Each structure stands twice: as C-alpha cells, then as structure tokens.
Structure 1
C-alpha cells in the first residue's frame, strides 16, 4: 500500500494534540513493512493560494506562452500535490479544528486536488463523474471542545468539510476516522481523553496494509 500522510499542524506535539496524533500515527505505520509512507507537510511545502494566476497560467499554457515565476511556482506546487495524491492508495489527513474549520494551508492542498478534470469531471449531460472513487481516506482530527454535542455540531466545519469533500463529492471511502475532542473544555479529563485517542490512532495505523 502506498500511503500519503498530509500533516496540517506545525505546532510541536507537546502543545498540539493533532501533532501528537501525527507522531503516534507515523511511528506505528512506518513500522509496517507493507506500507510505503510519504508525508506532505503543508507548512513545509510551498503552497501558494489558488487565484487568477492559475487561470491566466492555464490560458498561457494552451497558447504555448511563457509563464511568470509566480505562475510557474503555483503550477509546480499543484503538480507536486497531485502527483503524490495520484500515487497514493490511501491518504491520511492529520489536522486540527481552528476557528471552526481546517487550517488555511490544508485548505490550499484540498484546492489543489479538488479539481474538475482531475478528481471529477462532467459528462455530456452535465452530471458529475467521480474519477478516483477507489482511493481510501483516513481522517485524524483534534478539537478542544466537544463538537459532537448537538448544540455545537452545526458549527463544526473541519471534519464535516473533509467528509463532504472526499466522500460526499469525490466518492472516496473514509476507511477510518479518529477525533480527539474535549481536552480543552474538560481539563480535568484531558490526559485520559488524549491517551484514549492516541491508542485509537495507533490502532488505525496498525490495520493498514494487512
């Protein structure tokens, strides 16, 4: 199995639970000889935002015109992300909930791969056709509040966004999901909550490639 791990938090593991989840996951999965692991750290990679440069550059490429340095950097960044995503049998996203949603750097990665002509297309009747439904997705998320509670669930736009994007729209199967939540809102239980979640993360890693 070729596994791509998309890391979306650059805070150290002693300060960020999702970083702790990443370290636990990587430690377990790299010990599995049946899994080839590649990490894409959104904070280490050059990830320019998508904007007009992408569309201008696309028109230039069609006309065989020279790209500007800015346009070329964007196209190179998109191509690298897509090459890694294409080659992966499974993709594990490790990310926090920040301000009710995902980090902007992770959003940029999603923008690179959530694209017509790449992960989906439209047929002659205008229906959307999913192009990579065989790809497997793993979601590993940490959030300090208890967003599974009915009163907070509608506000949660991180895991819900990733579920909707990769499973709901792109048709990829979410084979595992671990959410560690409540460690900030319940500090007296934080150590227990985190420890239990980390064990679940390790269990997910151990199952891969079997």
Structure 2
C-alpha cells in the first residue's frame, strides 16, 4: 500500500500547526510505503496559458520553451504521484479562508477530465478515483465550525469537495485543529489534543495497512 502525503506549508513546525500535524503523522505512520509531495519544494509553475501552449506544441511537434517544458513536467509528476497512491493525506493550513496557492496548483495539475473524472454520454461527471482513500489534516487559527462561520471556510471544504466529490476518493479520516489563535490561553491544549488525534489516525492506518 502506498501513502502519498501532500504537504502544503513551508513554515517550520514550531510556528505552524499544520506543519506540526504533518510531522506528527510522519513520526507515527509505520509499515507502509510513504511518499511526501511537498508543494513548496516542488517546481510548480501556476496553471495558465503556458500549459495550454505546451499541449498544443505536443500535438504539433513544435519545440517548447523552458517554461512550457517545466509546467508539463510538473503536471505529469503530480499526476504520477497521485496515480501511485492508495491513500492520499492532505496536510495544509487555512490561509485567508482558503488553501495555499501552491496546493491549489497541485489540484489544478491533477483536476483533469479523463484522469480524475470524466463525462459520460449524457454529459454527467463520473468519478475516476473511487479506488483511492483520502485523509484531511487541517489547521486554522480561528473557529469555523460554528453554523455562522462554516460557510466562510473554503480550505477543508474545498479539498473534500474536490477529492471526495469530484475525484471520488473515500474520505476516511479528518482532523481539524482550530481556534488556537482565537483563544491563545487555550492554544497549547487545543493543539495537543489535535496532535493526539493525528497520532491516532497514523497508527490506525499503520494497523490497517501493515
């Protein structure tokens, strides 16, 4: 079994809770093949016209620019990483109500008709990743689990809607640490409790997969 961990925070674990969640998960997963795809360490040009130009040149046989070669290679690397995974773990923060731009780029690379989903003869979307499972590890300093704030949260919800809703992965676990910035006097306890849940997820996966 192959576990792909998509790490989407380049701040140190001493400063960023989602980075600490990633480290905690990695320290407690065992007996499986684990690969980290660090979106901040990878060469990942943003999705745009360069990619579409590259597609056209692949078809026509024209020579590609360095940027076109880079983005085509980056897209393929992300797709290959997802293809090889049985379980995908997303470790990421909520930044400005949404996900980091680099994580968005990863999603942009793999969000492709014919790869993660397709359209049937009636024009309905069909999920193509139903053989894979996903785990959500997310940190947010504010509190977004209340009915009033929940509609504003576009990080964990977005990843679940894409990975689960569009791609068809089964979301088997979710750990969200929230409120540590809003309640600094309780931050240590909030984070510690969340990290224990991350440990439990990693150990549960280890037990299932070993």
User: Aligning the two structures, in what range does the TM-score lie when normalised by the shorter sequence?
Assistant: over 0.9
Which one of the candidate residues 118, 121, 128 is aligned to 2:118? Answer: 121
Which one of the candidate residues 32, 37, 41 is aligned to 1:40? Answer: 37
Q: Which runs of 5+ in 2 are unaligned?
A: none
Determine if the alignment matches structure 1 residue 19 to structure 2 residue 19.
yes
Equivalenced residue count is: 207
Deviation at 1:81, TM superposition (A): 0.7
Question: How far apart, CA to CA, are the structure 2 residues paired with 1:57 and 1:204?
Answer: 40
Q: Mean Cα displacement is larger for which, 91-100 or 61-70?
A: 61-70
Which one of the candidate residues 152, 155, 178 is aligned to 1:155? Answer: 152
Question: How far apart, CA to CA, are the structure 2 residues paired with 1:148 and 1:130?
Answer: 28
Q: Mean Cα displacement is larger for which, 5-14 or 121-130?
A: 121-130
Cα-to-partner distance string for 1:160-210 (whole Å, 9 max, x where unaligned): 101111111221110100000000111111111000000000000011142
TM norm structure 1: 0.96
Instruction: Name the residue aligned to 2:66.
Output: 69
Alignment of 1:136-151 (within 5 A): 136-151=133-148
Runs of 4+ in 1 over 4 A off after TM superposition: none
TM norm structure 2: 0.96
User: 3-state SS of the aligned residue for 1:191?
Assistant: helix
User: 3-state SS of the aligned residue for 1:38?
Assistant: strand
Deviation at 1:124, TM superposition (A): 2.3
Question: How far apart, CA to CA, are the structure 2 residues paired with 1:16 and 1:69?
Answer: 34
User: 3-state SS of the aligned residue for 2:22?
Assistant: helix
Question: How far apart, CA to CA, are the structure 1 residues paired with 2:82 and 2:168?
Answer: 15
Q: Which runs of 5+ in 1 are unaligned?
A: none
Supply the RMSD in Å over aligned alpha carbons: 0.9
Instruction: Name the residue aligned to 1:7.
Output: 7
